[in-house]
Amino acid sequence: MMEKYNPAAIEKKWQERWSKAKIFETEKAGRNYYLLEMLPYPSGRIHMGHVRNYTIGDTIARFKIMNGYNVLHPIGFDAFGMPAENAAIAHNIAPKQWTLENIDYMEKELKTLGFSYDWSREIITCLPEYYKWEQKIFIEMYKKDMVYRKDAAANFCNKCQTVLANEQVEDGCCWRCGEKVEKKRFSQWFFKITDYADELLEDMKQIENGWPEKVLTMQRHWIGKSYGSMVDFRIEGTEKFLSVFTTRPDTLFGVTFVSIAPLHSDLPKLIAGSPQEKEIRKFIEKNSTGTTSEAELAKREKEGVFTGIQLVNPINGQKVPLYTANFVVTDYGTGVVMGVPAHDQRDYDFAKKYNLPIKYVILPDHEISKDAAYTDKGTLVDSGPFSGLNNVDANDKITQFLEKHKLGRITAQYRLRDWNVSRQRYWGAPIPVIYCKQCGIVPVPEKELPVVLPDNMKISGKGGSPLKNDSSFVNAACPKCGRSARRETDTFDTFVESSWYFLRYISPRENAPFNKAEAEKWMPVDQYIGGVEHAVMHLLYARYFTKVLRDLGYIDCDEPFARLLTQGMVIKDGAKMSKSKGNVVNPDKLISHYGADTARLFSLFAAPPEKELNWSDAGVAGAYRFLGRVWNLLIPLSKQLPLQETSKDIDLSNLSDSTKSFLSLFNNTIKKITVDMENY
């Protein structure tokens, strides 16, 4: 045994030994334990966030292995995505080449860190052998009416030149580049995640003891279930209705106008041939782009145009004008809202601007200013038979009245919208659909999967999907009638790949998405580790996709992850590490100087897993010195301790007092660590 602590030599020796012995490959027998960290994007180099995340997971995996568990601890790469496409444009290199070269380098880095991964199960999501099965799942979903295509107003990032799902818009900006997002109309593919809204909420009971409450709260808020009344306003002179969702039926007698979103799908039909059509179409065009931020919409100057249409308020029979207004969005309720200026400040501002009546129907016991909306509790006035009721009781009474007379009904609404999975980019899995003038939408036959991305594409990053410019890809024969047809040129949102990858790890070479019998043995994942920033994207999508796969007959479990640990961010000088701030720590240099064990030890010791880890050069040096002291302690002890491999009990009578003392301390330490790990 070497006398001086030499991490490079020690780590190389043992990593080679582990690899040769394949000690981290999953065995067939034993108690199963599935440990998983979120798979990395192959950006080119690992960062300290990776080191921390994977060190936490590795610690749990090794602890379980030493306690006799058959541990599944795989790794792979979430390899599709916009950065590869942008790099291809900037450096004139194919996205596939850029991605695979990055993966090759990052594999070496991860192996140098000595993590206990079963590399035989590695998956790379940009390879056809992975996304073939994703395409198969999509086709099965299509046949089961779980997906659909429609022309819709979508979130669009001009910088990234692609559509974004609602979950990928943060405060009105693109989650990736920060550019302000606009609304544009596209024909898009959607997953019916809203069909699972109630189950996504209800099944939180299954995971509430294993997931951070913060994540569950974020998902509840995003799903945004609220109860209220759906009230039907009849279009004057017709038997047609516009339905309005409201949580405030107590204010129905105060409605003085109704507003419809400029991008509402019914608006063009409502105004067709009217004197207002030209003006309203200009207004629609003006509002077809612009911010999607709820906060910015609230601050924006209120604008609207009268449609020339009168609606009939079902509660009192009074006529109210229908406006199209820029503060109404299609993404909540029905895209039509009732205007109650006396009791909603936004409506008050709009009414003042357009000289609309303001009718107070809820008042407190004291005098109030009529220069603003009154939004507090009170007693109903000028509300017919409901006058004199407090507004809380009036909510129930008016709702019952509406239901009895078939003018409205109690209903639930959700903030959650169906998942838009179409992306106008090259570097993603092709959507396996063919469009035929004769047959319409035709799924690609399973025997023709995968639909493979063409190589050597010229990518500009402008003008929509690059695939539409490749005639050899676009032109196809209709699988039904054989006539000339065209392929879908959009690709899947890359969050689709990460919504089911944890199942592919279970049987990565299976000639199917995965082996059901093996999935039953391993699912759900016992411990999942990753950042809280994925709460309403990846983590919500993975829960949804698990339920879809269950309903397609692939698995029996309802939830993908029994326990979730959201590790804290690694920061330096009080800020997140980034190249722009100049505070990035290169793990390669750290390992070269101090060794992988020092990097791992510091990641564990510097802060509890859920808390932010503030980078400290002194702390790293301290971890290195600590390992040196441990090494120096063990050198003399190694010559005294019975370290030979044996199944026999140690004869304590032949040991010195100092050795006995050490073994006692050693075993007490093992006991304490075991208790701490199991109770964490």
pLDDT tens column, 555-569 = 999 999 999 999 999
Question: Is 80 exceeded by the pLDDT of residue 28?
Answer: no
* pLDDT of amino acid 364: 95
How far apart CA 98 and CA 460 sit, in angstroms, is 16
**Residue from 515, 523, 516, 435 nearest 479 by CA:** 435
CA dihedral 222, 225, 230, 233 (to 10 degrees): -10
Q: Are the C-beta atoms of 433 and 443 separated by less than 8 Å?
A: yes
Could you count the other beta carbons within 10 Å of the beta carbon of residue 158?
Answer: 15
How far apart CA 43 and CA 456 sit, in angstroms, is 21
Most distant CA atoms of the chain, gap in Å: 105
Q: Which amino acid is present at 185?
A: R
Phi, psi of 289 (to 5 degrees): -125, 165
* pLDDT of amino acid 156: 84
Question: Is 60 exceeded by the pLDDT of residue 517?
Answer: yes
Residue appearing with tokens 């998983």: 36
Q: How many CA atoms lie within 13 A of 92 on its CB side?
A: 0
Q: Are the C-beta atoms of 427 and 81 separated by less than 8 Å?
A: yes
Domain boundaries in the chain? 8-124+517-617, 132-192+418-492, 225-414
How far apart CA 131 and CA 453 sit, in angstroms, is 10
Contacts of 256 (CB under 8 A, 6+ apart): 320, 339, 340, 341, 351, 356, 357, 358, 359
pLDDT above 90 as % of the chain: 75
- How sure is the predictor about 297, in pLDDT bands with cuts at 50, 70 and 90? low
Question: Is 70 exceeded by the pLDDT of residue 292?
Answer: no
Report for 84-88, 326-330, 381-385, 461-465: range of highest mean pLDDT: 381-385
Q: Are the C-beta atoms of 114 and 591 separated by less than 8 Å?
A: no
Residue appearing with tokens 């939830």: 559
Instruction: Provide the pairing of β-strand 31-37 with 527-529.
Output: parallel
Q: Are the C-beta atoms of 170 and 193 separated by less than 8 Å?
A: no
- Per CATH, 8-124+517-617 and 225-414 having the same topology is answered no
How far apart CA 56 and CA 677 sit, in angstroms, is 11
* pLDDT of amino acid 656: 81
Q: Are the C-beta atoms of 77 and 109 separated by less than 8 Å?
A: no
Lowest-confidence pick of 64-73, 167-176, 306-315, 431-440: 167-176
Task: Give burial (CB, 10 Å; 0-12/13-18/19+) of 463.
Answer: exposed
pLDDT tens column, 447-487 = 999 999 998 787 876 767 889 999 999 999 999 999 999 99
Residue 64 or 650, more confident? 64
Tell me if the bond preceding 636 is cis, omega within 30° of 0. Answer: no
Lowest-confidence pick of 157-171, 298-312, 551-565, 663-677: 157-171
* pLDDT of amino acid 86: 83
Task: Give burial (CB, 10 Å; 0-12/13-18/19+) of 243.
Answer: middle
- How sure is the predictor about 580, in pLDDT bands with cuts at 50, 70 and 90? low
* pLDDT of amino acid 152: 77
**Nearest 5°: CA angle at 129, between 491 and 546?**
70
- How sure is the predictor about 89, in pLDDT bands with cuts at 50, 70 and 90? confident
Contacts of 680 (CB under 8 A, 6+ apart): none
**Nearest 5°: CA angle at 498, between 538 and 55?**
85
**Across 277-286, average pLDDT:** 93
Q: Are the C-beta atoms of 336 and 328 separated by less than 8 Å?
A: yes
Q: Which CATH number is correct for 225-414, 3.40.50.2300, 2.40.50.140, 3.90.740.10, 3.40.50.620?
A: 3.90.740.10
Distances 580 to 27, 199, 457, 576 between C-alpha atoms, Å: 45, 42, 31, 10
How far apart CA 629 and CA 617 sit, in angstroms, is 19
* pLDDT of amino acid 470: 93
Q: What is the mean pLDDT of the chain?
A: 92
Q: Are the C-beta atoms of 435 and 443 separated by less than 8 Å?
A: no
For residue 525, what are the β-bridge partners? 561
| DSSP H helices in 114-250 | 128-143, 197-202, 204-207, 213-223
Question: Is 80 exceeded by the pLDDT of residue 300?
Answer: no
| DSSP H helices in 224-364 | 267-271, 277-286, 294-299, 345-353
* Both tokens assigned to 231: 């009230």
Q: Are the C-beta atoms of 220 and 568 separated by less than 8 Å?
A: no
Q: Which amino acid is present at 572?
A: K
* Both tokens assigned to 139: 């086709």
CA dihedral 549, 555, 557, 560 (to 10 degrees): -60
Phi, psi of 194 (to 5 degrees): -65, -25
Total residues belonging to the chain: 680
Q: Which amino acid is present at 168?
A: Q
Q: For 5-17, give one letter per residue: b (16+ CB within 10 A) or e.
A: bebeebbeeebee
Three-state SS annotation for 285-302: HHCCCCCCCHHHHHHCCC
Q: For 399-428, give one letter per residue: b (16+ CB within 10 A) or e.
A: bebbeeeebbeeeebbbbbbbbbbbbbbbb
Question: Is 70 exceeded by the pLDDT of residue 648?
Answer: no
pLDDT tens column, 223-252 = 999 999 999 999 999 999 999 999 999 999
**Across 328-345, average pLDDT:** 92
pLDDT tens column, 601-646 = 999 999 999 999 999 999 999 999 999 999 998 887 777 666 655 5
Q: Are the C-beta atoms of 327 and 298 separated by less than 8 Å?
A: yes
- pTM for the model stands at 0.90
Phi, psi of 106 (to 5 degrees): -70, -30
8-124+517-617 carries CATH number 3.30.365.10: no
Task: Give burial (CB, 10 Å; 0-12/13-18/19+) of 583.
Answer: middle
